[in-house]
Structure 1
Amino acid sequence: MSAPTHTRPHPVAQGSGVGTRLPWWALALPTLAFVALLALILNPSDAQAASGDPAITDLVDRARQLVGR
């Protein structure tokens, strides 16, 4: 025995604007977190546990030089 299927009386309008807008914090918070982590990477002396692996330190110094140009 088959069950009847229900169809929508009206097609859903594409681009109606419902649910497509993001709140301001949906973009601001990830951007803020990215900037904070980038600042820690570019200035490792501010970090509490900045111990010296020379390869990572050299890489960070070169990245800082490239960003500074």
Structure 2
Amino acid sequence: MSAPTHTRLHPAASGGVGTRLPWWALALPTLAFATLLMLILNPADAHAAGSDPVITHLVERVQMLIAR
């Protein structure tokens, strides 16, 4: 003998647990995106980029190879 099963008509409209995001779930990715965007727009603020001349030369060589 089989038991009857109950199907939900509108599972998204049930208002169950986990339907709302916490404030930081949107704030942290937005903050990270804005920070990276500012570094791209103004690379002078990225102090770590100019700290090692070897890496700077390597990046310049890669850019020259890509530009060819």
Instruction: State TM-score, norm by structure 2.
Output: 0.54
What is aligned with 1:11?
8
Provide the C-alpha distance between the structure 2 equivalents of 1:38 and 1:27, rounded to a whole number of angstroms.
Answer: 17
Aligned residue pair count: 50
Letter in 2 for 1:23: P
TM-score (norm 1): 0.53
- Unpaired runs of at least 5, structure 1: 56-69
CA RMSD after TM alignment: 2.6
**CA displacement 1:3-45 (0-9 Å, x = unmatched):** x57723x626431222211111100000000000001001100
Aligned equivalent of 1:41: 40
> Matches of residues 1-69 of structure 1 in structure 2 within 5 Å?
7-8=5-6, 11=8, 13=10, 14-18=12-16, 19-47=18-46, 48-50=48-50, 51=56, 53=60
Moved over 4 A (4+): 50-53
Counterpart secondary structure, 1:15? helix
Cα separation, 2, equivalents of 1:34 and 1:49: 19
Q: 1:21 to 1:32 in 2, by over 3 A?
A: same
Tell me, in whole angstroms, the C-alpha distance in 2 between the residues paired with 1:32 and 1:7. 46
State, as a whole percentage, how many aligned pairs show the same letter. Answer: 58
